[in-house]
Amino acid sequence: MTQPSNPETTQAHDLPVAHTKPKRRRVWSAWLLPLAALALTGWMLYTHQKQQGQVIEINFSHAYGLKPGNSLKYRGMTVGEVESLVLTKNLSRVKALVRLRPGNEGLARSGSRFWIVHPQVDLSGIKGLETVIGARYIAVQPGKSDKQRWRTRFQGMEGPRKDTNAKPGELDIVLRTNNISGVRLGTPLSYRGINIGSVQSIHLAATGQMVEIYARVKKPFTDLLRTNTEFWVKAPINVEKGILLSGFRIGMSAKTLLFGDIALAIPTKKGKPVRNGHSYVLNQKPSEADWAKDWKPLLRVGLQFLPKEATPPCQVQARLLWTQRRFLRSDLKKARTGWLTLMGNQLWGPANLFNLAKKYDGQLEVAGHRFALNRIKVLLTGHKQLRAIRPTSVNTLKPLLDWMLKQERRGCQALRVKKIQPEKSVLVVGSGLQQPISNTQMKKQKDTLTLNDSVPLGSAFHGAAALSRKTGRLIGLVVIEDETRTIYPIRNAPKPSTAPSKPPQKR
């Protein structure tokens, strides 16, 4: 039998039961303010450090008079300051702390080179002359790649980075000798007193019997290297016989006086061009052969203002000689000098090199050859200021003209511009003398170009070839008369001859 349920008990079971949980304290809110203050302090320190600049460490072998406060320079601009100088722990080097100015942190990268600029006199010249009176400073040469990593510690060097790789057009040669007296790293190579290269390295030969000197010749002068080119060590001082110091004579540059150099000469009958790595014998004195008394080889050098593919025209210097007879007085010898340019089978030049009054017996001298002016057939040209002669008309010039035609067949062709107009150009003569000219320094008058007074030209440019700096083509020839300098175009010039010239017949 079912017992009746208790209503009070049933009602008690249906009511929800409340459970209490302990209240947690929010401790993290107490750290919010200190963390914010710490972040603000770190940001202020970072901003201050960035404004002050990055500090790098450079270790040098010698301080060379460097002091705290001296500058760090790049391209002549101050990019930092030396903060302190101390010795390293092993006392072997000087540690310099340098602070870079803001915005120059890119200099502190892997591959950057630092050195102290101070007065130096060596084979490459006088360096750091401004520090004789002024303060020393540190120079920097940044690493080449922008992707190299940043650094804060560097090893100081003795100078900027040197490019040991030969540039296009340069030529490396080997000079072999038993004695390297007067020769060292950097010794210059000279031709007629002009620096054409330098010694790159010195090594003992594999057999140990000779010394090998590796030298490099610059691009414009590689034509000087022939199979019969001779080299010798040039003594820095020449002392001639005399009483005490009466015979003392210095006839060379200050660099040669201090260090000497290696000179070279080429016989008038030059040999064939050589290739890279050709070996020569280095003598201790000039050659005593007959050719060494008066050597005048005909050579051409490159031009730095022209495009690489451009070829300058063949030129040769000429002199017009005559004697002016005077009554009751000694005769007066006169001369006029200019340049002739080869165009096909003709030599073109200023008209006053071929024109002379009939009362004078003139002679034309070209590369040591003289011949009577009245025996030359002078050709008329489009301008009365220009004249031309045919090579076949002068037998005494056959050796010279044969050489010029040979050079022309090798690529020495004077290609002309289609239209003469003011443009950037360069005036060149056969000796390698050059004078760049801007288009604003010339004015067109009919079919000629007149140069203004701002162009520094002397008589050495009479007959010079004016070449376009853009294309390398021939614009015309320069004629200097009194105070006027005019470029005349070459009209109706024949095409370059391809037929070899015949040598003169012996009688």
pLDDT at 206: 77
Q: Are residues 114 and 259 in the same domain?
A: no
List CB contacts of 187: < 8 A, sequence separation 6 or more. 123, 198, 199, 259, 260, 261, 262
Residue 232 belongs to some domain of the structure: yes
Token digits of residue 258: 């201090």
Q: Phi and psi of 99, rounded to 5°?
A: -100, 120
pLDDT in tens, the chain (507 residues): 455 555 555 555 566 666 666 655 555 667 777 888 888 888 877 776 666 788 899 999 889 889 999 999 998 899 999 999 999 999 889 999 999 988 888 888 888 889 998 876 555 555 665 566 678 899 998 887 655 577 889 998 877 766 656 677 788 999 999 888 778 888 889 887 778 888 888 888 877 788 899 999 987 788 888 999 999 987 655 444 443 343 444 444 445 555 578 988 888 777 888 988 899 999 988 887 766 666 666 555 545 667 766 777 778 888 898 888 777 777 788 888 999 888 877 888 999 898 887 777 788 887 677 878 877 778 877 788 898 887 665 555 666 666 666 655 555 556 677 788 899 988 888 756 678 888 899 999 888 999 988 877 778 889 999 988 888 888 999 999 877 899 998 876 554 433 333 443 444
Are β-strands 465-468 and 125-127 bridged in parallel, bridged antiparallel, or unpaired? Answer: unpaired
Q: Are residues 361 and 507 in the same domain?
A: yes
Exposure string of 129-159, with b = 16+ CB inside 10 Å and e = fewer, is: eebeeeebbbbbbebeeeeeeeeeebebbee
Single-letter residue type at 159 = G
Residue 163 belongs to some domain of the structure: no
pLDDT at 350: 93
Q: Number of H helices and number of E strands within the chain? A: 4, 32
Q: How far apart are CA 135 and CA 148, in angstroms?
A: 32
pLDDT at 454: 80
Q: Tell me whether residue 197 is exposed, middle or buried, using C-beta atoms within 10 angstroms of its C-beta: 0 to 12, 13 to 18, 19 or more.
A: buried
pLDDT at 14: 63
pLDDT at 29: 67
Domain count, the chain: 3
Q: How far apart are CA 354 and CA 419, in angstroms?
A: 28
Per DSSP, helices labelled H in 241-284 are 254-259
Look-up: residue for tokens 């006053």?
352
Q: Are residues 359 and 287 in the same domain?
A: no
Q: How far apart are CA 238 and CA 220, in angstroms?
A: 30
Among residues 271, 293, 315, which one ends one of the domains? 293
Look-up: residue for tokens 């590369």?
367
Residue 305 belongs to some domain of the structure: yes
Q: How far apart are CA 264 and CA 271, in angstroms?
A: 14
191 and 264 Cβ atoms separated by less than 8 Å: yes
Look-up: residue for tokens 């400073």?
137
Q: Are residues 448 and 302 in the same domain?
A: yes
Domain hosting 506: range is: 298-507
pLDDT at 245: 41
Closest CA to 96 of 160, 152, 49, 158: 152
Q: How far apart are CA 351 and CA 354, in angstroms?
A: 6
Q: How far is CA 505 from CA 35, 65, 396, 502, in A?
A: 105, 74, 11, 9
**Residues in a beta bridge with 443:** 450
User: Does residue 83 sit in helix, strand or coil?
Assistant: strand
DSSP for 446-489, written as a single string? TTEEEE-TTS---GGGTTPEEEETTT--EEEEEEEETTEEEEEP
Q: How far apart are CA 232 and CA 265, in angstroms?
A: 9
Q: Are residues 178 and 151 in the same domain?
A: no
Are β-strands 153-155 and 120-122 bridged in parallel, bridged antiparallel, or unpaired? Answer: unpaired
Q: Are residues 321 and 345 in the same domain?
A: yes
Single-letter residue type at 247 = G
Q: Phi and psi of 407, rounded to 5°?
A: -65, -35
Residue 354 belongs to some domain of the structure: yes
Q: How far apart are CA 431 and CA 267, in angstroms?
A: 17
Q: How far apart are CA 366 and CA 364, in angstroms?
A: 7
Residue 455 belongs to some domain of the structure: yes
Q: How far is CA 2 from CA 5, 6, 11, 14, 354, in A?
A: 9, 12, 19, 22, 157
Q: Are residues 307 and 217 in the same domain?
A: no
pLDDT at 488: 92
pLDDT at 497: 38
Which one-letter DSSP state was computed for residue 99?
E
Residue 304 belongs to some domain of the structure: yes
Sign of CA dihedral 38, 39, 40, 46: positive
Q: Are residues 358 and 279 in the same domain?
A: no
Instruction: Give the chain's end-to-end CA distance (angstroms, integer).
Output: 169
488 and 386 Cβ atoms separated by less than 8 Å: yes
Q: Are residues 357 and 407 in the same domain?
A: yes
pLDDT at 392: 60
Residue 251 belongs to some domain of the structure: yes
Q: Are residues 248 and 326 in the same domain?
A: no
Residue 4 belongs to some domain of the structure: no
CATH code of 499's domain: 2.40.10
Among residues 266, 293, 320, which one ends one of the domains? 293
Among residues 246, 267, 293, which one ends one of the domains? 293
Q: Are residues 125 and 62 in the same domain?
A: yes
Closest CA to 306 of 490, 468, 64: 468
Q: Are residues 302 and 279 in the same domain?
A: no
Q: How far apart are CA 455 and CA 453, in angstroms?
A: 5
